[in-house]
Structure 1
């Protein structure tokens, strides 16, 4: 699993998914979902804090970590040859 997933890598993965959308429509939708969760987590923590909703903190954290966890899972599954990860090369 990558230790850090900077915005540039997120963008490169998204670009790969956009370019290969016709061949991999489900992967495209999954990556969009990961990015939506990331944005919701990044944006949601401030209202959760301001509205004193501590129950939302773990949800925001999970959302912020979603792309990182997804990429880690896909790379691990690719290494064990359970799922092929064609966009792996875009991380370099």
Structure 2
């Protein structure tokens, strides 16, 4: 995902925080895991702890995985996601 896509989704959640508080906090968790995934590479390189690399890699892809999961649920009509543009897959 691009930073513009992350920002667009975050702006939607901020604008609709009162109506969708759980989604707002869930997206904050997704972004927190994403940042931790990127920041976690520094200790891996500095201290040589390769066992943490898979955890960091998953963290980096959490936003894409989350948007993919929500898009599929939206298309199956099991979960409504107003912030998803179905033609643009979250764009």
Higher RCO (CA-CA < 8 Å; seq separation 6+): 1
Aligned-pair Cα RMSD in Å? 1.3
TM-score normalised to structure 2 length: 0.91
State the match for 1:63 in structure 2.
59
**Deviation string for 1:23-67 (max 9, x for gaps)?**
000000000000000000011112112111111101100110000
TM-score normalised to structure 1 length: 0.90
Matched, 1:75 2:78: no
User: Where in structure 1 do 4 or more consecutive aligned residues deviate above 2 Å?
Assistant: 89-92
Greater helix content: 1
Aligned residue pairs, count? 88
Structure 1: segments with no counterpart, 5+ residues: none
Partner residue of 2:44 out of 18, 43, 48: 48
